[in-house]
A and B are shown apart, each in its own frame.
Chain A
């Protein structure tokens, strides 16, 4: 008895099936990822909602303890320790901006305009943005790793078992600390960024200090600071909540904690830049 080759093994149908399978698998994983994305965003929004609710309760109800000591501890950890890095990065950014702008502005004979452009770019945009990106690596990753490790070692379960709400006890201090400290850091970043631009312009491009600071003062209005610092605050909240959500949803031991840390940095940066675009569009539409 001769053995007939099976129909599916003969060229075309098999190739077709593989193609359909590949398309199906791609579509399937795309759906999975969409579901995952919606779950993450939804979970983060819900967590933010309850963190805000606890904050309000903590401010107005004397019976709700927010833990001042732990807030200060988190502020030191998030804020104070990242000051040096934020300053270093922002000084470079100011300097880079000045050098990049110089040839173009010089060709228009407007080299003294460097101060204006650097001031606006730093205060409205790069001060808050770069601070937030530094913090997402600095504070976001460490918050996610810390809370993830607490989930893994049953500490969160133990908190709940002691009738201590983990959102109030762990997340609210981190949320408030990051939001407050990033505003302070953004102020430092603004000053250092402008100084970086100034030093480069003065030492390398020959602009006098008087001209530079006069142009900077003329270019900036209070509104620039307000929009920039508002953005910074929102970015801080985003970083804290993305990190806390990633930490709280850790699964699968040490690998899970590692994944949460990496994904926090990636998600934070995407969320920060996306949120920045939204803010810029709104400010532009209202002429702020």
Chain B
């Protein structure tokens, strides 16, 4: 079922949410792909395409409706389906993961050093002196050692993300998840975070899953990329595939999906993403009226 070298295998994942009027809205339709050992996979897509939901499903924060999510970490004989797995068993897998949240999600009542030390204190029985060394190393790795005794509220957004990254790597994870690592950061800080991600993935040999809609950052760090649109996987492939679609002339692309990806990657305002079929009822109503007015005046 799952490929031999896949760390995470997602199979026919479906997730829906209840709506206010009593119905259900499906956010992810039959999503299937693998994340290979040691690679950096970037999940892209516009706002509301389901990429954050997908991430939350992967880390066990949201239960899924149908399908399977299989994990196979180094010590596992075979892949384990985590859907419906008990919290305590899932926690064994979570100990092999690190997650960098969008806001950093540092514990505000603790200093940076305590934040980084927490996973170590909770999940190991090492002495405080050793914890102190590990904390120093991890903070050094993200160039935040100077701030070790500061509280999270005293830090800037970029510093919080660096510190969050130090905490996420405290237990030397095999898999690192990044939720919008460069969102809300200036270009220089954003590049620095990207470099840090690449640096960590080469030094620690981790498998990285990055959810983002910042294209510059995505093309810098990705080995492979996944494009999601309206809860479906449009395309998955190596970075070079996406680069060639990005650089192609929209008219020369044969499929609608490729034209859509081309539009997204280049950030064009015209294209299949903004055509009537991709719009909500409300948008059709507004823009449809404008178009017909245009025609009558012409």
Contact = CB atoms under 8 A, between A and B. Distances in A.
A163 B119 CA distance: 8
Contact of A65 (B94, B102, B103, B122): B122
Contacts of B97: 161
Contact of A154 (B92, B94, B101, B119): B101
A163 B103 contact: no
Nearest to A152: B103
Contact of B94 (A149, A150, A163): A163
B94 A153 contact: no
A154 B123 contact: no
A70 to B, nearest CB: 10
A203 B87 CA distance: 63
Contacts, number: 51
Contact of A163 (B91, B101, B102, B107): B91
A160 B119 contact: no
A286 to B, nearest CB: 41
A155 B94 contact: no
Nearest to B102: A154
B105 interface: yes
Interface string B100-136: 0111011110000000001100110000000000000
B118 A164 contact: yes
Given A153-B105, A154-B103, A155-B108, A161 B122 contact: no
Nearest to A69: B121
A137 B167 CA distance: 35
Contacts of B123: 162-163
B101 A157 contact: yes
A155 B95 CA distance: 17
A159 B103 CA distance: 14
Nearest to B123: A163
Given A161-B59, A165-B87, A155 B107 contact: yes
B281 interface: no
B103 A153 contact: yes
Contacts of A169: 122
B61 interface: yes
Interface string A161-178: 111110001000000000
B99 interface: yes
The list of the 10 closest CB pairs from A to B, nearest first, reads A163-B91, A154-B105, A158-B105, A163-B94, A161-B99, A162-B119, A163-B95, A154-B101, A164-B122, A155-B107
Interface of A: 65, 149-150, 153-155, 157-165, 169
11 contacts: A153-B108, A154-B105, A157-B101, A158-B105, A159-B107, A160-B61, A160-B94, A162-B94, A163-B92, A165-B87, A169-B122
Interface of B: 59-61, 87, 91-92, 94-95, 97, 99, 101-103, 105-108, 118-119, 122-123, 167
